[in-house]
Amino acid sequence: MRSQIISSVLRASVRPTVARSALPIAVRGRAYSDHPQETFESFTQRYVEFFNGAEDVQRGLNNCFAHDLVPAPSVIEAAVRAARRVNDFATAVRIFNGVKVKVENKKQYKDYVDELKSLREELGLTLEEELYPEWEK
């Protein structure tokens, strides 16, 4: 057994090591992707269509709010309706919290809330600030 170990160690040390030669910069390929910038209108249309048929609302919301823009009211409406369609009341309320975090100021948030007031009344949604007014700063 001992002789087998010694012979395998000796064989390993005798093998020549092959060094990989570096390719010149001109031969190396670029590793980046190139795709056109998505417009706000196509973004809005894509997510409205997604939420109109979505069963996986959480995944869609995660992707939608990951972008560096505030979704249009039509996207918010489609998302809220999708959340209520799958009977997820908490997510429907949290969508408005996501909008609150994404907008630049309180006036923009108030504009969203005012524009979607009829939707909230239709679906019976109460916002966090309506439930807990003492939390507002």
Query: Where are the domains positioned within the chain?
Result: 40-129
**Residues in contact with 50: Cβ distance below 8 Å, sequence separation at least 6, in sequence order:** 60, 78
pLDDT in tens, the chain (137 residues): 666 666 665 565 555 555 555 656 555 566 666 667 888 888 888 888 888 876 788 888 888 889 888 999 999 999 999 999 999 999 999 999 999 999 999 999 999 999 999 999 999 999 988 888 887 76
> Which architecture characterizes domain 40-129 according to CATH?
Alpha Horseshoe (1.25)
Query: Which CB contacts under 8 angstroms, 24+ apart, belong to 114-123?
Result: 115/73, 116/73, 116/76, 116/77, 116/80, 119/77, 119/80, 119/81, 120/80, 123/80, 123/81, 123/84, 123/92
Stated pTM of the model: 0.68
Distance CA 93, CA 84 (A): 10
User: Where does 1-137 have alpha helices with state H?
Assistant: 2-14, 40-52, 57-66, 73-85, 89-102, 106-115, 117-123, 128-131
Distance CA 76, CA 95 (A): 7
